[in-house]
Amino acid sequence: MISIVTPWIGHPELIEKYEPTVKGAQVVVVQNDGDADLAAALTDMTTRLGNGSLTIPLGCNRYFSRANNVGYEMATENVIVFMNNDVTATGEWLPAVERDVKDEALYGPGMAAYPVQNMLLAYVEGWCIAGTDASWKRICVPTGRESQPQAPWDEITYPRCYAEDMDLCFRARKLGMNLMRTFWTLKHEIGYTNKTLPGAFDSADANRATFEKSVKAYFDVGVQA
């Protein structure tokens, strides 16, 4: 079986398509707001899904990295997928995930590249990114929280949205892990939540600049060595 971790804020209308997409997995929904009606609807959904699925209400928006890390702590299966709530299946996909995902690599259907230091750095887009628990443990970083000292997503450097997936994949590559594009039958409604969320893009440029600095620092040290 697979664990799927999904941050969720607003948009209860997404439940109708999300639920059949993830059926058969352990689903950990992390609610990034304090809406009581949404909390009840998400809890009803995870109860129906079974397999140890649950909803974790955070009470307010803790953003992408923190929500993913909180959900990761409750994931119980060997293969863990971080997936947005605006992703739907267009065919069988969970068996393909179980077949494809191996140690020492991160996987996903969305691959992109970001230009830094006259290079194009490939990364798996964070709307759907999978790995084994052993792979996620390898790339864990400090969280600054006593309840979960280490977790895969860097919530200290990237407390708000954007560039978190690029950082995640760059850390994996530095450890010699591979990035693998998959052909899982999924559809992503790009930016569905962020388009309606005030301030969602406020940190995008700053986060990309932070990422570029970290890449430059890594290669500068390598050149000097």
In a domain, 203, yes or no: yes
What 57-60 contacts at long range (C-beta under 8 Å, 24+ apart), as own/partner pairs, is: 57/31, 58/30, 58/31, 58/32, 58/33, 59/33, 59/34, 60/32, 60/33, 60/34
In a domain, 224, yes or no: no
Counted domains in the chain = 1
* Predicted confidence (pLDDT) at residue 225 exceeds the cutoff of 60: no
Nearest by Cα to 152 from 3, 21, 37, 1: 3
- Using 50, 70 and 90 to split pLDDT, how confident is the model at 91? confident
Instruction: Quick: pLDDT tens for 140-154.
Output: 999 999 999 999 999
- Asked if 186 and 130 count as a contact pair (C-beta separation under 8 A), the reply is no
Q: Which residue has the tokens 């955070």?
A: 58
Kindly state the average pLDDT of the residues 3-15. Answer: 96
In a domain, 172, yes or no: yes
**Residue 127 sits in which domain range?**
2-219
Instruction: Quick: pLDDT tens for 38-63.
Output: 999 999 999 999 999 999 999 888 88
Q: Which residue has the tokens 């995640």?
A: 168
CATH code of the domain in which 73 resides: 3.90.550.10
In a domain, 134, yes or no: yes
pTM for this one? Answer: 0.95
- Using 50, 70 and 90 to split pLDDT, how confident is the model at 223? very low
In a domain, 135, yes or no: yes
